[in-house]
Structure 1
Amino acid sequence: MLDDNSNTNSFISSQSSPYRHDEGDNRFVRNHRSNVQSDLIEITEDKLEVILIKHIEKLNIRDSWISPSSMLVAIITAKTTATFNDSFGLSAAVWETIFVLSGIFSAIWLIRNLCLIGINWKSSDLSSLICRIKNSQETTGTKETK
């Protein structure tokens, strides 16, 4: 029984596999391209943590337009459709003024956040994160180390 297993194993290992790349076997492989060269990046854990925290903050800025724009839409809708009445000890004019001032505040908040998004857009993408981790600066296809 041991001889049968050893004969089977030697038979299997002697046959060429269709998945193995032999120099003379071009039946299945038209071109062989190797893309295994890579850069090694060494970085300390605390430095990487600081870089990632800053990057997450910049990513969060990208979504900062949602709250002020939602608030502005709600205030504009309420202002255009509501009739203000005296309630809670405040007159109708005071309620209307509160809504107008809230709308102005929301519009300023939205404009500010849109400006921050525009300023931070390029620095919050993946290639920028990799450059900060590498501590390098990409310029026209060449890499310069700081």
Structure 2
Amino acid sequence: MTSFVRAIVSPIAVSPSLSVSASPDQLPVLRSLVRTVAAHYALSLDGLSDLVLAADEAATILISHALPSSSLTCTFDGDDNATARVVLSAATTGQISTSTSSFGWHVLETLADQVDLEEAPPAAPEENWTVTITLTKVVQAGS
């Protein structure tokens, strides 16, 4: 089976974004993107590693709930220099709220300064849930 990876480039968007198939074999690609983009923020080496690990864990959570043949999208939101924000989203089979009490979720909350979970129900019965996990890491002054 061949994996399909595509970079989404928009002349309007200033935030780097990548969409990969929602499968565990795409995690190295995602980690590489997060490491490369996050390196442009004034994060310490520990902060950078924490963000990469948090993105990996968030992606793993989403992949475990993702619909077959769906995509996982990773976007960076760099609206200011005080925070590095990674937004991961996927179409899922339903809510994943029960995951917020799991060990993996505890790991996320330890590695990132803020973790937000947004679950959008389908607008119509034939549509899917969209789940988004946003990771925020505060950039240390003078790092």
TM-score range, shorter chain: under 0.3
TM-score normalised by structure 2 residue count: 0.25
Bigger Rg, which one: 1
